[in-house]
Structure 1
């Protein structure tokens, strides 16, 4: 998570908010189908893809598994760990779903594999936005989206203790 240091804002997303936003994505996509199937980009795209697949009644679901290095830099290396059957026909009539398009590095690589597919993400940042066809919420490039699977409940520090710590500095 070294890339996090380049971000100046935090955008936490709860399970409820993610579900609402993924369902909103399905609403936008509903009139564009029917789709032969759906390809989730792992790992982040798995949860939104499940919600979209349910809402669009898509039963054929595949994954494209990628590992991205140098995430904060356009042109970083994307290793495809597992391809998809949707590549056989360039993704024609297939739907690709991911949680987020950030720099667009992963999206660009997946687009090369399936140029005819419809690419949808729940969240989009300006650098990656041109790579997707449909998204729900745009956030600034310097915002870290904190997804619910990256969070856990912990006890918060009472305000008076925080203020006491600030006074000692």
Structure 2
């Protein structure tokens, strides 16, 4: 998380993600899609949940690698698709600055593009989203976090102030 760009943090649990995807699906249930195209990697899990909720069996991927730490403007399409997206649902977890979304939108101009979360800079590139978050908010997705043991409070309070236990 870049300290100069992100000033807020939003942690999404597995339960919250599932609830949010189901809420997004309520907006999509009346539509008939040929299949789903997930944008890897962030779109994989939302796409799987949407596929279940909408009973879609055909799932494809667009695989894009970005080089944020080396080159701010370089995106590499690792795997594309052989259609323009007509009748397909394009899924990603988040639209942020819109760099990836713009590249995928160019590849699949006729797809219906949805994200679970959207930031203001990228929001105009998607057809639907569920929740808007601030541009300076870092989203912690559940697949990026681990579960760690936390000592009971009473044990934490028994430890000396220097953090060493005797």
TM-score, normalised via structure 2 length: 0.86
SS at match of 2:121: coil
Match of 2:43 in 1: 45
Over 4 Å off, 4+ runs: 156-161
- How far residue 84 of structure 1 moved from its aligned partner, in angstroms, is 1.7
Distance 2:134 2:150 in 1: 27
Match of 1:122 in 2: 116
Alignment RMSD: 2.2
Q: Give 5+ residue unaligned stretches, structure 1.
A: none
Distance 2:47 2:114 in 1: 10
Once the two structures are superposed, residues 48-84 of structure 1 have per-residue CA deviations (whole angstroms, 9 ceiling, x without a partner) of: 000101111111100000011238x9x7222110012
Judging by fraction of residues, say which structure has more helix: 1
Distance 1:120 1:76 in 2: 23
Q: Identify if the C-alpha distance between structure 1 residues 139 and 63 changes in structure 2 by more than 3 Å, giving closer, same or farther.
A: same
Once the two structures are superposed, residues 17-74 of structure 1 have per-residue CA deviations (whole angstroms, 9 ceiling, x without a partner) of: 001111111111112x201110000011000000101111111100000011238x9x
Aligned with 2:147 (options 153, 161, 167): 153
How many residues matched?
Answer: 157
Match of 2:26 in 1: 27
- How far residue 107 of structure 1 moved from its aligned partner, in angstroms, is 0.4
SS at match of 2:47: helix
Match of 2:74 in 1: 77
TM-score, normalised via structure 1 length: 0.85
Distance 1:37 1:154 in 2: 37
Match of 1:103 in 2: 97
Q: Give 5+ residue unaligned stretches, structure 2.
A: none
Distance 1:76 1:56 in 2: 35
SS at match of 2:104: helix
Distance 2:73 2:24 in 1: 28
Match of 1:67 in 2: 65
Aligned with 1:36 (options 30, 34, 37): 34
